[in-house]
Amino acid sequence: MKVSLKWLSEYVDVPDDLKAFCDRLDLTGTGVEGVETLGAAFQNVVTAQVVGKERHPDSDHMWVCQVDVGPWNTDDDGNPAPLQIVCGAQNFQAGDHIVTALVGAELPGDIKIKKSKLRGVASCGMNCSERELGLGDSHEGIMILPEDAPVGVPFAEYRGLSDTVLDLEITPNRPDCLSMVGMAREVGAMYREDVTLPLFELEEARNKPDAHELVTVQIDDPVRCPRYTARVIKNVKVGPSPAWLAERVTAAGARSISNVVDVTNYILFLYGQPLHAFDYDKLESPDGKVHVIVRAAEEGEKLTTLDGEERALTPDMTVIATPERAVALAGVMGGLETEITDGSTTVLLEAATFEPGRTSRTSRNLGLISESSMRYERRVDDHPIAAYADAAAALLAEVSGGVVCPGLVDEYPLPTPSRELRFRIPRFCAMMGIDIPRADIVDILERLDCQVVAPAHAEALEVVPPTDRPDLEREIDLYEEVLRLWGMDQVPPTLPASPQRVGVLTDAQKLERIVNRAMTAAGLNETTTYSFAAPDELQKLRMAPEGLGEAVELINPMSTEQSVMRQSLIPGLLRSVAYNQAHGVKNVQLYETGVVFAAREGAKQPKERRKLAAVMAGAMDEPSWNSPAVPFDFFDAKGAVESLARELAIPKLRFKALDAQEAPHLQPGRAAQVLSGGSVLGWVGEIHPLAAQAYEAEAPIAAFELDLEALGRASRPARDYRDVPQFPAVTADIAFVVDEDVTNERLMQCMASAGGKLLDEVRLFDVYRDDERVGVGKKSMAYALEFRAPDRTLTSQEVEKAQEKLVKKVCGATGAEVRA
Amino acid sequence: MAIVDELAALQAETLAAIEAAADTAALDEVRVRTVGKSGTLTAYLRNMGSVPADQKAVVGKAVNAARNAVEEALEARKTALAAAELEASIDAAAVDVTLPGRSQRLGTRHLINRVTEEICDVFLGLGYTVADGPEVETDYYNFTALNAPADHPSRSLQDTFYVVDRSGEAASVRGESDVLLRTQTSGVQVHAMEDQQLPIYIVAPGKVYRRDIADPSHLPQFTQIEGLVVDKGITFGDLKGTLDYLCKAVFGPDRRTRFRAHYFPFTEPSAEVDVSCAVCGGEGCRMCKGTGWLELLGCGMVDPNVLQMSGIDPEEYSGFAFGMGVERAACLKYNVPDLRLLLQGDMRFLRQF
């Protein structure tokens, strides 16, 4: 909403300090989005007089003028002399008062005036037309001012154009503020200033037929249209608006079109009441009358709106119609066929109110947002419509030379009842946290045009809000009004006093904090990727869909690539790997925690599972002077999972090899399921090179994806205490030569079961393959064994015996041989 | 030559050898040669039995004296040599201390989650619990229960992602679906009001979705933290004090806040909160477009309709609620120029925080 301060100050005192005024508007709920200084556009534009006019020596249509610009008169040497200006207009004479843009002026449309030569003759400025000044459409010639216009005065000053226009953000609950009188009242309440409202005197022409003889109005559905009024103005001469009217509507952000249209816009900006002017003659039915019908549009009914577009309508939309056809889209835009044209002489002026929700839908569905629809969708007050229709008719008659037919056709089937609200002062003060004086409360409400009945000493006020404030429905709404105008800044800050609260994290939240610590400690960097995915995402990733449910589909996605919700975090992470690699970053260590979605048949909402996933490509670091860069592989991802399991005290962590059928998205032979005992936590492995390729990422990429809920279920709240050893350990190294398919896990199990209580720790320290020394298809697994008893120092015989038993068991169970 | 003389000569020779030993190894050699098991001086001690009885006392005394002198000299020389050797080895071990250290490189948290956690911690400290809820919500919990009018533009297909409803129920709102990607975490608050015992002190952080094309200042997916308090005697002053405390905790103790009246369907009275501009300290600069203030969040007293819809008596209880975009707060704090950086996973960006 654009508010001219010059206009506003006709109704209420506007403070001189613009910055303070804008701040106060901001604080009380009217956001100031822009401040425009009008007249700034007219810098270096002055009133002038043509003192000499001669034909251009080399042109038939141009004139070389001497122009008196008063104090700005100067020749090349800086001596006062009229300016020489070459001008192509034909509508002026020597002696005419005109408007001249001096060198340095910047006119609308980014026209910069410079000293120039036109066909060899120097020109030191430009004589301006109305259009060049942005004041209207007239481009017939230059603007001629009255003879009494002073010479050499800034044009903005001469025309009184110096003005400041605020661009205000009006919240959707405040339709009243989409008008000058509403803003005047708001400012009056802000500063506790009185407001003077404009007055229009309507003179009806007794010699003309009554409007009721000319127009009938029929409303089919009062909900769609609670009130419709019509006035008829005859003998109208359509033409340009007077300057003051053109300026007003221009300042408010509209274009000056004609006196009739400008009046409807002026009343709209002044009162927030949209109007529509029809050409009466074009509405007339064969019986010589106009029959206005407000009805639902028919399915597929066509209407060409003022903007020249033919619109296909639906029954949800309301139209203004004659018995023959639809002539306007109610509340949104008029029809082209019945609009006012230069030849129109009789105007039917509509002032009505329409259903907000329906207007909003209509304007949105048609992509047609107008000043009218913007107001109707926020609700236009039905009560003052008659007065506004009268004001509009009076003004229209005044500026168009027309006469107003007696009578207002007023169909008013559904008046909005007024409300009576209670304002409990002690409750208000208690809820705001400050005592606001009763007198201030009453004063603020009254300045907002509320009727306040305040019985002396009573704790509650009886308040009737004004009818143009649909937002004041309940007691609490009044609280807001008083608080914001009295000043939120005056309320002292406090903290809630309740003794009944404790701040704790849930187990799931604690788990995630541990996960984040473990992941960052493992050198992984947290990221966030899109929750959206492509419908074929799992195929692209080669991931088996089992257990992931069906994808959750979006009805209105932004793109096909993002048309379902993700079922795995890995695709997003692979995209980030590819992004980094494409940008020359080869070392990528990323993790993400987030939700994956699985649709459930028969349920509104999908199953949401929180997952943890990571990808590792390249190495942890570039090679350094004291540490080589070790390329990531399966074991880096596994190591991160192991660290996490330790942090979460997950017992019986196991890794079970996954084959190509079980995990097609992983490279066979480098893929494992992660388990705690029998429960599956997720998987770890190297992404299949073909899957990496599908995401334009470079393999190898080590990765894992774990289910956070499963981790939570498997994790234990605390680890058990074990006595710190009191007695020394006996260590022994032993190497087994086994077939390739004997796993470390198998050997460890055998050693653990045979070693019994005395075997305290087993650590694999070497894996060695050599066709000659170890044998083809064999490997040597070297373990450091640590034997210890909690209560004594072990004897060498005890250790030997235990070790023998261990060797026997391992060799017997796995076919291993001890390597000498 | 008398034994005593022999001893004197041996002692002198040995002391000279000790003095001449260049390092602890050479010194040890001297020690072994003289006082070792089969050392020369040790031999005299061993042979004491064959010394005639009348000389025993004299020889014994001389042997012991020689031995004491040698051992003392050995000890002294050893200490001196050890000190010198330590010094030499220390000199040799000096490093260029400006060489990079050896460390396990730590990973980093995502900026938004780091800020989210920081804000949650502020509220944990104030006695709030952290609540969460589903990202796919029903229209009721995302809009209706929050007092959003049925025709509100934010509910349109233009602004909100709708999801295929698999329940088989007919959609009651838009003709398409009652299921959507939440546009705010307010649904969590409604669930809390319906399910939790009073009083309620919660913050609800989480991902939210709006149909905006990703550009430097918009993302279709971003993060919100909303807070809700419902208790007896909650005042607008409590709301101010709480958010003022939050801003100071997150942005620094010298930052100020201001409350601008605003409109939200969920709250009444409603306000927007600005934090004073860090660049100019409130004087007005380009960062804050000359106002001295940066818009941070929306808040207000919980609308009585909302309380009532969740079965709470607004005459007995009051409350406040607020909601802030974490991306916005993070950008204000870290001046991130392009929000899309937050979803790209660019290591060079992530590693900065």
ipTM (interface predicted TM)? 0.86
Which of A 596-635 lie inside 8 A of B, CB atoms? Answer: 597, 599-606, 608, 620-621, 624-627
Which phi-psi region, left, alpha or beta, contains residue B233 (left: φ > 0; alpha: ψ -120 to 50)? left
CA distance A634 to chain B (A): 19
Q: What confidence tier does A514 reach under pLDDT thresholds 50, 70, 90? A: very high
Is residue A204 helix, strand or coil?
Answer: strand
CB-based contact A493 B241, cutoff 8 Å: yes
| Mean pLDDT taken over chain A | 93
Q: What confidence tier does A537 reach under pLDDT thresholds 50, 70, 90? A: very high
SS3 for A397-440 is HHHHCCEECCCCEEECCCCCCCCCEEEEHHHHHHHHCCCCCHHH
Q: Report pLDDT digits (tens) over A477-497.
A: 999 999 999 999 999 999 998
Closest among A211, A460, A538 to A347, alpha carbons compared: A211
CA A80 to chain centre: 57
Which of B 87-106 lie inside 8 A of A, CB atoms? Answer: 99-100, 102, 104-106
CB-based contact B343 A528, cutoff 8 Å: yes
From the list B125, B234, B244, which residue is nearest A496 (CB)?
A: B234
CB-based contact A498 B199, cutoff 8 Å: yes
Phi, psi of B61 (to 5 degrees): -60, -45
Is residue A211 helix, strand or coil?
Answer: helix
What is residue B175's predicted lDDT score, i.e. its pLDDT?
A: 52
Question: Which superfamily does CATH assign the domain made up of A211-411 to?
Answer: Phenylalanyl-trna Synthetase, Chain B, domain 3 (3.50.40.10)
| Mean per-residue pLDDT, A411-437 | 95
CB-based contact B350 A523, cutoff 8 Å: no
Q: Which residues fall within 8 angstroms of residue B50, CB to CB, at 6 or more apart? A: none
Which of A 481-540 lie inside 8 A of B, CB atoms? Answer: 483-484, 488-489, 491-498, 500-506, 509, 513, 516, 519-532
Distance CA A695, CA A233 (A): 71
Q: Report pLDDT digits (tens) over A268-295.
A: 999 999 999 999 999 999 999 999 999 9
CB A377 within 8 A of CB B152: no
* All structural domains of chain A with their residue ranges: 2-39+163-191, 40-159, 211-411, 421-490, 507-714, 730-818
* All structural domains of chain B with their residue ranges: 3-92, 111-350
Architecture of the domain defined by A40-159? Beta Barrel (2.40)
CB A100 within 8 A of CB A93: no
Q: Report pLDDT digits (tens) over A544-570.
A: 998 899 999 999 999 999 999 999 999
Q: What confidence tier does B207 reach under pLDDT thresholds 50, 70, 90? A: very high
Partnered with residue B319 across adjacent β-strands are B230
Which residue of A lies nearest to B243 if distances are taken between CA atoms? A493
CB-based contact A526 B108, cutoff 8 Å: yes
The dotted CATH code for A2-39+163-191 is: 3.30.56.10
Q: Report pLDDT digits (tens) over A374-410.
A: 999 999 999 999 999 999 999 999 999 999 999 999 9
Q: Tell me, which fold does domain A507-714 have in CATH? A: BirA Bifunctional Protein; domain 2 (3.30.930)
Q: Which residues fall within 8 angstroms of residue B302, CB to CB, at 6 or more apart? A: B228, B230, B266, B267, B318, B319, B320, B321
CA distances, A705 to each of A650, A719, A760 (Å): 16, 25, 32
What is residue A226's predicted lDDT score, i.e. its pLDDT?
A: 97
pTM over 0.80? The answer is yes
Closest among A566, A606, A530, A569 to B137, alpha carbons compared: A606
Q: What confidence tier does A527 reach under pLDDT thresholds 50, 70, 90? A: very high
pLDDT for residue B49 is more than 90: no
Q: Tell me, which fold does domain A730-818 have in CATH? A: Alpha-Beta Plaits (3.30.70)
CB-based contact A528 B342, cutoff 8 Å: yes
From the list B163, B237, B260, which residue is nearest A434 (CB)?
A: B237
Buried b (16+ CB within 10 A) or exposed e, A249-274: bbbbebebbbbbbbbbbbbbbbbbbb
pLDDT for residue B152 is more than 70: yes
Distance CA B282, CA A601 (A): 55
Preferred mutation among A477, A501, A609, A625 to probe B, highest tally of B CBs within 10 A = A501
CA distance A62 to chain B (A): 47
What is residue B174's predicted lDDT score, i.e. its pLDDT?
A: 47
Length of chain B: 353
Q: Report pLDDT digits (tens) over B264-311.
A: 988 999 999 999 888 788 788 877 877 888 889 999 999 999 999 889
| Mean per-residue pLDDT, A179-193 | 95
Output DSSP code: residue A223: T
CB A215 within 8 A of CB A278: no
Length of chain A: 820
From the list B291, B301, B347, which residue is nearest A585 (CB)?
A: B347
What is residue B176's predicted lDDT score, i.e. its pLDDT?
A: 67
Q: What confidence tier does A360 reach under pLDDT thresholds 50, 70, 90? A: confident
Highest mean pLDDT pick, A110-119, A454-463, A579-588: A579-588
Which of B 179-218 lie inside 8 A of A, CB atoms? Answer: 179, 181, 199, 201, 207, 209, 211, 213
CA distance A218 to chain B (A): 27
Distance CA B327, CA B216 (A): 12
Distance CA A103, CA A314 (A): 56
Residue A28 structure tokens:
């009380």
pLDDT for residue B336 is more than 90: no
CB-based contact A430 B135, cutoff 8 Å: no
Distance CA A621, CA A637 (A): 15
Distance CA A397, CA A559 (A): 55
CB A698 within 8 A of CB A632: no
Closest among A125, A128, A189, A117 to A155, alpha carbons compared: A128
Return the CATH number of B111-350, one of 3.60.21.10, 3.30.1490.100, 3.30.930.10, 3.60.20.10: 3.30.930.10
Higher pLDDT, B14 or A573: A573
Q: Is A718 exposed, middle or buried (0-12, 13-18, 19+ CB in 10 A)?
A: exposed
Distance CA B188, CA B227 (A): 10
Q: Report pLDDT digits (tens) over B99-122.
A: 988 888 899 999 999 999 999 999
Partnered with residue B9 across adjacent β-strands are none
Closest among A206, A85, A173, A100 to A143, alpha carbons compared: A100
Whether A2-39+163-191 shares its CATH topology with A421-490 is answered yes
For the A421-490 domain, the top CATH level (class) is: alpha beta
pLDDT for residue A16 is more than 60: yes
- Picking from A809-813, B192-196, B210-214, B348-352, which range would have the lowest pLDDT averaged per residue? B192-196
CA distance A319 to chain B (A): 20
| Mean per-residue pLDDT, A328-350 | 95
| Mean pLDDT taken over chain B | 89
CB-based contact B268 A477, cutoff 8 Å: yes
CB A728 within 8 A of CB A776: no
Partnered with residue A272 across adjacent β-strands are none
Strands B221-231 and B318-325: antiparallel
Q: Is B90 exposed, middle or buried (0-12, 13-18, 19+ CB in 10 A)?
A: exposed
CA distance A397 to chain B (A): 39
pLDDT for residue B171 is more than 70: no
| Torsion sign over Cα A247, A248, A250, A255 | negative
